[in-house]
């Protein structure tokens, strides 16, 4: 990681001394690249990513944090210039930024899956395989609770209250909340725990309180969850741009479409401001209009 930090400093010196960029521009580059470095450290990456999927996972995380489109666009611009410099310096052969598009500046509603698409997605993991059983439990948990991917990978068994069908999560700002979890999701978690997780920890001789683990007994990363979902979406023939946050959008949308109160959804999602939750009313209204158009005899 120290080598990556030094490379960033070299790039910033080049940008200031040779390109003559202003102090404000250098400060913006520094902020963006430090944010990227923090992501690499969290994901335990020790080299600059060469795959667009890794950059997409980073950008999806910014979107999950409700970063403005303008901020994400600036980040993409900063990374493009940085990777161009890495290639020119022969520090990098592949430039994943060539495959990354800037976000559009419109205000489209977030992507949500239909109930049929969710069923297809959940059916993709091969549950006769150990990782397939883990992935089924993971996907069921995301859809059953609407939790953020950062909350998912930090879930511990002490956070599950099976008798009450509740799960404790720690959201943004370490705010704690108790939210419902379905019997279906709990059943898959139990199967995964008994058949895969606990035998794995016994085999590798590790202690790990997190529920969802990788195949070495370590904790899952956000990037790993992102890649799991992408892979199963491809298998399921789902062509939408699906991220872990898409399942959160889908969870909220399906609750509202089936009559849930907006305030209840706000509490479950952990939104401090109901205006953040109100975007889902637009999704629900879209559903209402579609039903109306299909069923009213004179439309």
Active site residue 245: yes
Catalytic residue among 134, 136, 148, 197: 148
Q: Which helix (DSSP H) or strand (DSSP E) does residue 269 occupy?
A: helix 262-269
Q: What does the angle CA 171 – CA 218 – CA 65 come to, to the nearest 5 degrees?
A: 25
Distance CA 190, CA 125 (A): 16
User: Are β-strands 176-180 and 160-161 bridged in parallel, bridged antiparallel, or unpaired?
Assistant: unpaired
Distance CA 258, CA 249 (A): 14
Query: Hey, what are 78's tokens?
Result: 């900063």
Active site residue 172: yes
Query: Hey, what are 143's tokens?
Result: 């859809």
Beta strands in 69-108 (DSSP E): none
Active site residue 29: no
Radius of gyration of the chain (CA): 21
Catalytic residue among 136, 197, 245, 249: 245
Catalytic residue among 19, 51, 172, 240: 172
Query: Hey, what are 46's tokens?
Result: 């020790």
Active site residue 271: yes
Reference 96, options 131, 57, 61, 128; nearest CA is 57
Catalytic residue among 222, 248, 249, 254: 248
Catalytic residue among 29, 83, 192, 280: 280
Distance CA 84, CA 76 (A): 12
Active site residue 67: no
Residues with a catalytic annotation lie at 148, 172, 245, 248, 271, 280
């Amino acid at each position: 990681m120290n080598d990556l930090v030094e490379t960033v400093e070299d790039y910033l010196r080049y940008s200031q001394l040779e390109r003559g960029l202003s102090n404000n521009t250098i400060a913006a580059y520094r902020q963006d690249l430090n944010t990227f470095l923090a992501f690499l450290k969290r994901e335990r990456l020790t080299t600059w990513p060469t795959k667009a999927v890794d950059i997409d996972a980073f950008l999806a995380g910014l979107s999950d944090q409700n970063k403005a489109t303008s901020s994400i666009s600036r980040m993409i611009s900063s990374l493009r210039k940085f990777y161009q410099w890495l290639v020119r310096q022969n520090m990098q052969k592949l430039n994943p930024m060539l495959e990354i598009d800037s976000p559009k500046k419109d205000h489209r509603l977030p992507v949500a899956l239909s109930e049929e698409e969710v069923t297809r997605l959940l059916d993709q993991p091969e549950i006769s395989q150990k990782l397939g059983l883990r992935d089924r439990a993971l996907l069921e948990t995301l859809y059953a609770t609407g939790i953020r991917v950062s909350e998912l990978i930090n879930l511990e068994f002490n956070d599950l209250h099976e008798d009450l069908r509740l799960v404790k999560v720690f959201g943004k700002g370490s705010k704690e909340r108790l939210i419902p979890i379905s019997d279906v999701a709990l059943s898959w978690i139990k199967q995964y725990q008994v058949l895969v997780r606990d035998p794995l920890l016994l085999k590798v001789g590790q202690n790990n309180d997190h529920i969802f683990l990788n195949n070495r007994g370590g904790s899952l990363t956000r990037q790993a969850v992102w890649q799991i979902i992408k892979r199963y979406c491809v298998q399921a023939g789902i062509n939408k741009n699906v991220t872990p946050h898409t399942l959160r959008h889908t969870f909220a949308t399906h609750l509202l479409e089936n009559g849930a109160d907006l305030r209840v959804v706000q509490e479950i999602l952990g939104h401090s401001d109901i205006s953040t939750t109100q975007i889902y009313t637009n999704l629900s209204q879209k559903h209402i209009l579609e039903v109306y158009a299909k069923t009213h005899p004179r439309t």
